[in-house]
Structure 1
Amino acid sequence: MLVTFETKAHANITMFGEVAVTLIKLMGHSGTVPGALLAADVPAALERLRRAVSEHPDAPLDPKTGVGAADDGEERHVSLANRALPLIALLSDAAAAGENVMWSSP
């Protein structure tokens, strides 16, 4: 499953479903897809996500699709901080513009 985040203030972002649901939960939402944040709720969700990332920036956040397995047999992980970066940018732009944020599975 893929999840696409949308707002009028930023280009759409598509993520692996498991990664997206984790980030949605870190924003303080239930993790349901589809879902949305009203413009008034975006700054608080952004702050919760930033706080979670600052507390555990190096925590691995990989989908369970085999992505991250290297050819040399060594596992490589993408950190929470890196996975959250595009969503933080989207939420920041939405908060600055006073726009709603929606997400769904195409």
Structure 2
Amino acid sequence: MIVTFKTKASGNLIYFKDVAIKLLALMGRDDKVPSALFAEDVAAALAKLQHGLAEIAREEQEKVKQNENLAEQRVSSATTKAYISLNVRAEPLLEMLQKAVKKQCPVQWE
């Protein structure tokens, strides 16, 4: 299933539901789809999302440091899936929320 984020401040964003739910949780929202943020609530949600993503980035850096020795010992395989962090996946949503704050627009998702 997919979740589409919409605002008049920018184009639509499409996320897989599992990623969208994680991002919504970081914004302090529940997993209710569809739902929305009022224009006056977007800035607070953006700040919470940025703070949560910063925490995740710190945790990922610690894991990388702990696993450096293991990674050097492993042989990379062509069938290994590339890992894309939540921080990378969140970039378009961060940009959307920033534009919505500037233009004082609500954000909805369905």
Q: Give TM class, smaller chain.
A: 0.7 to 0.9
Shift of 1:12: 0.5
Instruction: State the match for 1:88 in structure 2.
Output: 94
Deviations 1:8-59 (A, max 9, x none): 0011000111101110111000121001000010000000000111111275
Distance (whole Å) between structure 1 residues aligned to residue 44 and residue 103 of structure 2: 15
Instruction: State the match for 2:13 in structure 1.
Output: 13
Distance (whole Å) between structure 1 residues aligned to residue 35 and residue 78 of structure 2: 39
Structure number with higher relative contact order (C-alpha < 8 Å, ≥ 6 residues apart): 2
Deviations 1:58-102 (A, max 9, x none): 75xxxxxxxxxxx81213211011011000000000011100000
Larger Rg: 2
- Of Structure 1 and Structure 2, the greater helix share is in 2
Instruction: State the match for 2:52 in structure 1.
Output: 52
Q: Tell me, which stretches of 5 or more residues in structure 1 are unaligned?
A: 60-70
Aligned pairs, number: 93
| Alignment RMSD (CA, Å) | 1.4
Distance (whole Å) between structure 2 residues aligned to residue 2 and residue 80 of structure 1: 16
Question: Structure 1: which amino acid aligns with 2:85?
Answer: S
Report which stretch shifted further, 34-43 or 49-58: 49-58
Distance (whole Å) between structure 1 residues aligned to residue 35 and residue 84 of structure 2: 25
